[in-house]
Amino acid sequence: MFHKEGHKIIFSALVMAIVLALLAHYFVENFWFQKTIEVGAVIFLILILQFFRNPKRTGTLANEHVLAPVDGKVVVIEEVFEKEYFKDKRLQVSVFMSPVNVHVTRYPISGKVLYSKYHPGKYLVAWHPKASEENERTTIVVENEVYGSILYRQIAGALAKRIVNYATVDEEVVQGTDAGFIKFGSRVDVFLPLDANIKVALNQKVKGGVDIIAE
């Protein structure tokens, strides 16, 4: 199953791969060069397909848990000052996505969307210390009665050129369902209350919509 954000790109990649293979077959005389182009076209198409895959997830949903919003590796767990919305100290958990990860963003908790804002910006590498404040990004705050408010931030990286965000203010959302997509890489920061019980460790790999990052 492929994410709807990739349908046009997948179609374009399919057409491009077919055209390259046909051109190589009919116009390239050198056998090995011809096969190299054909194999390269197939590999290119496979990479596009795997990038836009959207596997169904069946994590345990609970209002007292915060689920990982994306697939990737935990690269930050620290206390920080969140200055855009809360304007106080929070626990930040950041998950970095490589190009081979699923890039669907999922709601970490169920509840009501209180805040949703897009920020244009730079395309620094996702692990750059200033990426969270200077890169293209979206900031979303969701609240429920059990856990309270959490903030998650989709951050574009050096390759990512478009962030898709489905969250709208006052919308009731369901934990683990599609919240958006980051095209070609990056990271998501989650800002939690200071008394949150963190359930992941640095460098741990997590699955979005399945693994619990805090409770």
CATH of domain 66-214: 2.70.70
Q: What is the pLDDT of residue 129?
A: 61
Q: What is the pLDDT of residue 189?
A: 94
* Mean pLDDT of each 10-residue bin along the chain, 215 residues long: 73 86 84 86 82 73 91 94 95 89 89 95 64 81 93 80 88 94 82 95 94 94
Q: Which token pair is 43? A: 């590999």
Please count the helices (runs of H) and the strands (runs of E) in the chain.
3, 13
Query: Active site residue: 110, 116, 132, 186, which one?
Result: 186
Instruction: Give the C-alpha separation, 103 to 156, whole Å.
Output: 11
Q: What is the pLDDT of residue 13?
A: 81
Q: Which token pair is 127? A: 């692990």
- The partner residues of 118 in beta bridges, in order of sequence, read 138
Q: What is the pLDDT of residue 181?
A: 85
Q: What is the pLDDT of residue 40?
A: 87
177-178-182-187 Cα dihedral, nearest 10 degrees: -10
Domain boundaries, the chain: 4-51, 66-214
Q: What is the pLDDT of residue 206?
A: 96
Among this protein's residues, is 116 annotated catalytic? no
121: number of Cβ within 10 Å: 15
**Are 52 and 185 a contacting pair, CB within 8 Å?**
no
Q: What is the pLDDT of residue 168?
A: 96
